[in-house]
């Protein structure tokens, strides 16, 4: 059993290497994603509000967009509803991007941070940016 | 216990028959079962039951007049202009009489008809073969007669292209974006690997607008609800002799043609 110490050293080194990414993520302070909300349309709003509560959009926008896509394409139910007398359509391109015209600072920053790659933009076009 | 060949074959036959009876195969092959889309109960502009179009060829005096319709469609729907004909994407285009109406071609047509190009597009058939063959139901018929595509669901198998007798579907062999001159940001583009076609401007109809080609046609394309007796389409069909493309196939196209006459 003369190799006992060697084995323990190697084992410790191995565990440290394997667990490093997990520990690193726990310890480091998260950097600010710095999502920007100051587009011309949003700046001109008297009451700055989304069509749904902020928290809900933050956590469920992907589910909402997914159900919108089925509603619109398969069911042709395109109306989201009226807010303050304005009718909103269930549309990524026409509704979401109308206000959030800064795709790279709004959508991309968060998606890049979370390492999420979405394929929405393969077809849908960001309103003004058009960097294709 | 031994079994002779006769017994074995009998048993095998009986088992096979039982399996067939119990299998969902019959269900799958039953006509109508593969027709998709139960949807569209509400919405839609608004109560149309069967959208249809009449193409009045007399009202297209020059090539320019129908090119306007084609251009309007291309612009509205971000249709790429491919370099190679093999990769061509077309929603509405012009064909010679013999290609558009091969079963009523006689070889001795009037000169004007022989020279004429006919605007052709997806017929949004009553009985669309493309819908029947689509394995993912990416293409489906809505209750208002439109045959539409769900590009999210298309797997690019191209069965629909093989089934369509009018060649009205195109496949995106390449990423179309680099081939679109001016992208219309209010309509999505498509991606490589999906099939696309004319959808009678389903989104414009929803907003109460006419299809882009109809709007640009200066009255040569007439659009409306076939089930509404007072619609423009019905009025035209009542007053003029019209034909459809390949009527023998029983697809019942939703696009009618006024070829000549008074």
pLDDT attached to residue B204: 92
**pLDDT per position as a tens digit, B11-28:** 888 877 666 665 544 444
pLDDT attached to residue B55: 94
How far away is chain A from the Cα of B138, in angstroms, using its nearest Cα?
A: 9
* A74/B183 CB distance under 8 A: no
pLDDT at residue B102 tops 70: yes
pLDDT attached to residue A53: 92
The helix (run of H) or strand (run of E) holding residue A39 is none
Q: What is the DSSP string of A4-23?
A: HHHHHHHHHHHHHHHHHHHH
Token reading at B71: 């251009």
pLDDT attached to residue B260: 74
pLDDT attached to residue B48: 86
Q: Could you tell me if B191 lies within 8 Å of chain A, comparing CB atoms? A: yes
**pLDDT per position as a tens digit, B123-132:** 999 999 999 9
Average pLDDT over residues B223-252: 93
How far away is chain B from the Cα of A71, in angstroms, using its nearest Cα?
A: 9
Q: Could you tell me if B150 lies within 8 Å of chain A, comparing CB atoms? A: yes
* Per-residue CA distances from A15 to A10, A21, A24, A27 (Å): 9, 11, 14, 17
Token reading at B130: 């493309």
pLDDT at residue B31 tops 90: no
Q: Could you tell me if B155 lies within 8 Å of chain A, comparing CB atoms? A: no
Rounded Cα distance between B226 and B241, Å, is: 16
- Which letter does DSSP use for residue B231 in this model? S
- The pairs formed by B112-116 with CB atoms below 8 angstroms and a separation of 24 or more are B112/B260, B113/B259, B113/B260, B116/B57
Q: Could you tell me if B42 lies within 8 Å of chain A, comparing CB atoms? A: yes
Residues of chain B with Cβ-Cβ distance to A130 below 8 Å are 183, 185
Q: Could you tell me if A132 lies within 8 Å of chain B, comparing CB atoms? A: yes
Please provide residue B10's backbone torsions phi and psi, each rounded to the nearest 5 degrees. Answer: -60, -50
**DSSP percent split of chain B into helix, strand, coil, nearest 5:** 35, 15, 50
Answer yes or no: are the C-beta atoms of B144 and B49 closer than 8 Å: yes
How far away is chain B from the Cα of A61, in angstroms, using its nearest Cα?
A: 18
Rounded Cα distance between B88 and B197, Å, is: 12
pLDDT attached to residue B53: 95
pLDDT attached to residue B47: 74
- Give Rg (Cα) of chain A: 23
pLDDT-flagged residues of chain A (< 50)? 130-132
How far away is chain A from the Cα of B186, in angstroms, using its nearest Cα?
A: 6
Residues of chain B with Cβ-Cβ distance to A74 below 8 Å are 37, 39, 140, 150
Q: Can you name the residues that pair with B243 across neighbouring β-strands?
A: B257
B165 vs B34: which has the higher pLDDT: B165
Rounded Cα distance between B203 and B209, Å, is: 9
Q: How many CA atoms lie less than 13 Å away from B244 in the CB half-sphere?
A: 21
Rounded Cα distance between B193 and B87, Å, is: 12
CB atoms near residue A45 (< 10 Å): 10
First to last CA, chain A: 65
Average confidence score pLDDT of chain A = 88
Residues of chain A with Cβ-Cβ distance to B151 below 8 Å are 123
**pLDDT per position as a tens digit, B171-184:** 999 999 999 998 99
Q: What is the largest CA-CA distance in chain B?
A: 86
pLDDT attached to residue B115: 86
Q: What is the largest CA-CA distance in chain A?
A: 82
Tell me the whole-structure pTM to 2 decimals: 0.78
Candidate from A76, A127, A132 with C-beta closest to B142: A76
Token reading at B119: 């605007």
pLDDT attached to residue B22: 59
Residue of B nearest to A76 (CA): B40
pLDDT attached to residue A129: 55
* B185/A132 CB distance under 8 A: no
Range picked from A117-121, B28-32, B252-256 for highest mean pLDDT: B252-256
**pLDDT per position as a tens digit, A60-84:** 999 999 999 999 999 888 889 888 8
ipTM: 0.76
> Residue B48: which residues within 8 A CB-CB, separation 6 or more?
B144, B145, B205, B225, B227, B228
């Amino acid at each position: 059993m003369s190799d006992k110490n060697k084995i323990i050293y190697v084992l410790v080194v191995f565990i440290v290497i394997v667990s490093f990414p997990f520990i690193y993520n726990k310890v480091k302070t998260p950097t600010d994603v710095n999502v920007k909300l100051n587009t011309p349309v949003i700046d001109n709003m008297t009451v700055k509000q989304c069509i749904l509560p902020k928290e809900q959009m933050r956590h469920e926008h992907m589910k909402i967009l997914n159900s919108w896509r089925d509603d619109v394409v398969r069911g042709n139910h395109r109306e989201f509803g009226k807010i303050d007398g304005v009718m909103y359509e269930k549309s990524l391109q026409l509704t979401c991007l109308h206000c959030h015209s800064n795709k790279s600072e709004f959508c991309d920053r968060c998606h890049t941070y979370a390492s999420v790659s979405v394929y929405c933009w393969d077809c849908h076009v960001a309103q003004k940016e058009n960097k294709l | 216990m031994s079994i002779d060949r006769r017994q074995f074959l009998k048993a095998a036959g009986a088992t096979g028959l039982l399996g067939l009876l119990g299998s969902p195969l019959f269900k799958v092959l039953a006509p109508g079962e593969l027709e998709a889309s139960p949807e569209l109960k509400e919405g839609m502009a608004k109560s149309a039951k069967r959208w249809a179009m009449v193409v009045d060829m007399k009202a297209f005096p020059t090539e320019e007049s129908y090119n306007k319709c084609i251009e309007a469609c291309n612009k509205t729907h971000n249709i790429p202009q491919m370099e190679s004909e093999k990769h061509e994407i077309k929603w509405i285009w012009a064909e010679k009489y013999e290609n558009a109406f091969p079963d009523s071609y006689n070889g001795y047509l009037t000169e004007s008809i022989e020279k004429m190009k006919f605007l052709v597009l997806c017929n949004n058939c009553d009985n669309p073969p493309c819908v029947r063959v689509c394995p993912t139901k990416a293409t489906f018929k809505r209750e208002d007669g439109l045959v539409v595509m769900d590009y999210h669901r298309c797997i690019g198998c191209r069965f629909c292209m093989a089934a369509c007798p009018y060649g009205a579907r195109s496949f995106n062999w390449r990423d179309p974006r680099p081939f679109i001159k001016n992208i219309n940001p209010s309509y999505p583009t498509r991606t490589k690997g999906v099939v696309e076609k004319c959808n009678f401007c389903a989104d414009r109809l929803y907003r109460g607008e006419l299809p882009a080609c109809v709007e640009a046609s200066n009255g040569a394309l007439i659009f409306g609800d076939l089930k509404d007796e007072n619609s423009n389409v019905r009025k035209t069909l009542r007053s003029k002799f019209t034909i459809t493309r390949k009527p023998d196939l029983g697809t019942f196209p939703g696009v009618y043609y006024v070829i000549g006459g008074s």
